[in-house]
Amino acid sequence: MPGRPWWEEAVVYQVYPRSFCDTDGDGVGDLEGVRGKLDHLAWLGVGAIWLSPFYRSPMADFGYDVADYCDVDPLFGTLDDFDHLVADAHARGIKVIVDWVPNHTSDRHPWFLASRSSRDDPKRSWYVWRDGPGGGPPDPPPNNWRSAFPGVGRRERPPAWTWDDATGQWYLHLFLPEQPDLDWANPEVRAAMAGVLRFWMARGVDGFRVDVVQALGKDPSLPDVPDHLQPPSGTNDRPETHPILAELRRVVDGFDPGPAPRMMVGEVYLPTARQVADYHGTPERPELHLAFNFSPLFAPWDADEWRVRIDEVRTLIEARPAWPTWVLSNHDNPRHRTRYGSEARARAAAVLLLCLRGTPFLYAGEELGLDDAEVPPERRVDPGHRDGCRAPIPWDATPAHGWASTEPWLPWPPGADAGTDAATQRDDPSSMLQLYRRLLAARRASPALRSGTFAWLHSPAGTLAWLRTAEGGDATGSHPATGPGAADRAGDRRAVLIDVAGAGATVELPPGGWRCEVHSLDAGATSTVRGSYRLDPGAAVVLAPA
Ligand code: TEU
- Evaluate whether 129 touches 209 at the Cβ level (below 8 Å): no
> What integer pLDDT is reported at residue 259 of this predicted model?
82
Q: What would the mean pLDDT of 403-418 be, rounded to a whole number?
A: 95
What are the beta bridge partners of residue 507?
533
d(CA 366, CA 358): 19
> What integer pLDDT is reported at residue 201 of this predicted model?
97
Report the separation in Å between the CA atom of 518 and the middle of ligand 1, taken as the mean of its atom positions.
35
* Helix axes of 432-445 and 343-355: crossing angle, nearest 10 degrees: 10
Report the separation in Å between the CA atom of 511 and the middle of ligand 1, taken as the mean of its atom positions.
47
- Evaluate whether 67 touches 114 at the Cβ level (below 8 Å): no
- Evaluate whether 216 touches 102 at the Cβ level (below 8 Å): yes
Phi-psi sector, 216: left (phi>0), alpha (psi -120 to 50), beta:
alpha
From 152, 176, 331, 332, the mutation candidate for ligand 1 (largest count of ligand atoms within 8 A of CB) is: 332
pLDDT band for position 221 (50/70/90)? Answer: very high
Handedness of CA 504, 508, 509, 512 (dihedral sign): positive
Query: How high does pLDDT run on average in the chain?
Result: 95
> What integer pLDDT is reported at residue 472 of this predicted model?
63
Nearest CA to ligand 1 atom 7: 332
> What integer pLDDT is reported at residue 489 of this predicted model?
46
CA atoms within 13 A on the CB side of 253: 12
Indicate the pTM of the whole model. Answer: 0.96
Q: What would the mean pLDDT of 76-82 be, rounded to a whole number?
A: 98
- Residue 202 makes CB contacts below 8 A (sequence gap 6+) with none
pLDDT band for position 256 (50/70/90)? Answer: confident
Q: What is the pLDDT of residues 86-140, one digit of tens each?
A: 999 999 999 999 999 999 999 999 999 999 999 999 999 999 999 999 999 999 9
d(CA 441, CA 426): 15
Q: Which residue in 231, 37, 67, 257 sits closest to 145, CA to CA?
A: 231
Nearest CA to ligand 1 atom 23: 64
Q: Which residue in 349, 348, 343, 341 sits closest to 297, CA to CA?
A: 349
Q: What would the mean pLDDT of 465-482 be, rounded to a whole number?
A: 64
Q: What is the pLDDT of residues 144-190, one digit of tens each?
A: 999 999 999 999 999 999 999 999 999 999 999 999 999 999 999 99
From 145, 146, 212, 229, the mutation candidate for ligand 1 (largest count of ligand atoms within 8 A of CB) is: 212
> What integer pLDDT is reported at residue 2 of this predicted model?
54
Report the separation in Å between the CA atom of 12 and the middle of ligand 1, taken as the mean of its atom positions.
19
Q: Cite the active site residues.
A: 211, 267
- Exposure letters 253-277 (e unless 16+ CB within 10 A, then b): eeeeeeeeebbbbbbbbbeebebbb
pLDDT band for position 444 (50/70/90)? Answer: very high
Report the separation in Å between the CA atom of 183 and the middle of ligand 1, taken as the mean of its atom positions.
19
- In this structure, the residues whose C-beta lies within 6 A of any atom of ligand 1 are 61, 64, 101, 148, 175, 211-212, 233-234, 267, 269, 331-332, 384
Ligand 1, residue 331: give the atom nearest the CA: 17
Checking if the pLDDT of 479 tops 90, the result is no
- Evaluate whether 83 touches 89 at the Cβ level (below 8 Å): no
